């Protein structure tokens, strides 16, 4: 049941990303539209978020079918077993690198404990990460008492350096969606 909900949430997330990331401030939105560099960064961000959602959905589908996750602890570019577990059955072309040419990092099961302050991970938990434009791990720590604290507004090009982190199908570090 947990994974049926997760797949539903992932589908909603995928539709959110495809529909376009809307940012919280009008100033940021207007400056992004006017500046070609910001427009390019926004497109890279949206595509990276879409790929993280795709990896997450593949992991959720895998664990639903197999009752366990494949082993993974970090970049998977050389972990052939992880790649074979997901591709092509759960995702046709598993993306290796985000739009800034930094490897995606995936932590499955116990391996996600301690990553970004996330704790209590069991065998069905997973975290998918992009280090963002600067390709450096951010000092972000997840606060379970305030899960939305990791959401941020895009106000300048430096905001694209922030990590993108999805834990079990929920964004814990990502741009804040704009309220309509």
pLDDT digits (tens, 9 = 90+) for 18-52: 444 444 434 444 444 568 889 999 999 999 999 99
Q: What is the pLDDT of residue 178?
A: 76
pLDDT digits (tens, 9 = 90+) for 43-84: 999 999 999 999 999 999 999 999 999 999 999 987 789 999
pLDDT digits (tens, 9 = 90+) for 121-132: 999 999 999 999
Provide mean pLDDT across the span 144-168. 95
Q: What is the pLDDT of residue 180?
A: 61
Over 80: is that where the pLDDT of 105 sits? yes
Q: Give me the percent of the chain exceeding a pLDDT of 90.
A: 75
Extract long-range pairs of 136-139: CB within 8 Å, 24+ residues apart. 136/161, 137/163, 138/162, 138/163, 138/173
Which of 41, 42, 44 is closest to 22 using CA atoms? 42
Q: What is the pLDDT of residue 8?
A: 47
């Amino acid at each position: 049941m947990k994974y049926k909900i997760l797949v539903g949430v992932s589908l909603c997330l995928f539709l959110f990303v495809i529909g376009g990331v809307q940012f919280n401030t009008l100033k940021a939105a207007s400056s992004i539209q006017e500046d070609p560099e910001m427009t390019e960064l926004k497109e890279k961000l949206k595509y990276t978020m879409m790929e993280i959602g795709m990896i997450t959905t593949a992991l959720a589908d895998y664990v639903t079918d197999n009752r366990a996750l494949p082993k993974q602890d970090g970049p998977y570019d050389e972990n052939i077993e992880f790649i074979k577990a997901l591709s092509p059955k759960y995702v046709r072309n598993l993306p290796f690198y985000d739009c800034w040419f930094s490897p995606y990092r995936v932590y499955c099961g116990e391996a996600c404990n301690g990553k970004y302050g996330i704790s209590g991970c069991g065998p069905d938990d997973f975290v998918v990460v992009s280090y963002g434009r600067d390709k450096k791990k951010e000092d972000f720590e997840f606060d379970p008492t305030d899960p939305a604290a990791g959401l941020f507004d895009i106000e300048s090009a430096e905001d694209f350096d922030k990590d993108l982190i999805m834990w079990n199908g929920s964004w814990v570090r990502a741009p804040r969606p704009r309220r309509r």
